[in-house]
């Protein structure tokens, strides 16, 4: 019974690793783009306290940064139901590539 439990644990661990590899391989670029956008938002605006005090001497550039981020064409969202245009330099694998 101990051997069976050990085998089951190993199989479950391998399945978890395979699932993680699949998710990263399939959605890796989207995950990286999301993380970069999130990180940029965290770093962009450190002057939120100025909005609370309404000070005249505040030299916040938060509004300017949001405008330039909105103008960036690389981060345009694709409407639901439509596919993003394919990158002409992207490598696409065929099912035949994976057959032994």
pLDDT over 90, % of the chain: 37
Cα 20 from chain centroid (whole Å): 15
pTM of the model: 0.39
Phi, psi of 30 (to 5 degrees): -70, -35
* pLDDT digits 0-9 by tens, 59-83: 555 555 555 555 555 545 555 566 6
Does the CA dihedral 28-30-31-35 come out positive or negative?
positive
pLDDT band for position 99 (50/70/90)?
confident
Q: Taking Cα atoms as reference points, which of 62, 75, 95, 2 lies closest to residue 34?
A: 75
- In this predicted structure, the answer to whether residue 84 has a pLDDT above a threshold of 90 is no
Q: Taking Cα atoms as reference points, which of 26, 29, 65 lies closest to residue 46?
A: 65
Cα 33 from chain centroid (whole Å): 4
């Amino acid at each position: 019974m101990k051997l069976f439990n050990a085998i089951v644990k190993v199989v479950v661990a391998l399945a978890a690793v395979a699932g993680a590899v699949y998710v990263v391989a399939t959605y890796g670029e989207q995950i990286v783009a999301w993380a970069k956008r999130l990180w940029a938002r965290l770093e962009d605006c450190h002057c939120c306290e100025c909005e609370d005090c309404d000070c005249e001497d505040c030299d916040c550039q938060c509004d300017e940064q949001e405008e330039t981020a909105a103008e960036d064409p690389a981060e345009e969202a694709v409407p639901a139901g439509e596919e993003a245009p394919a990158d002409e330099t992207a490598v696409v694998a065929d099912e035949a590539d994976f057959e032994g």
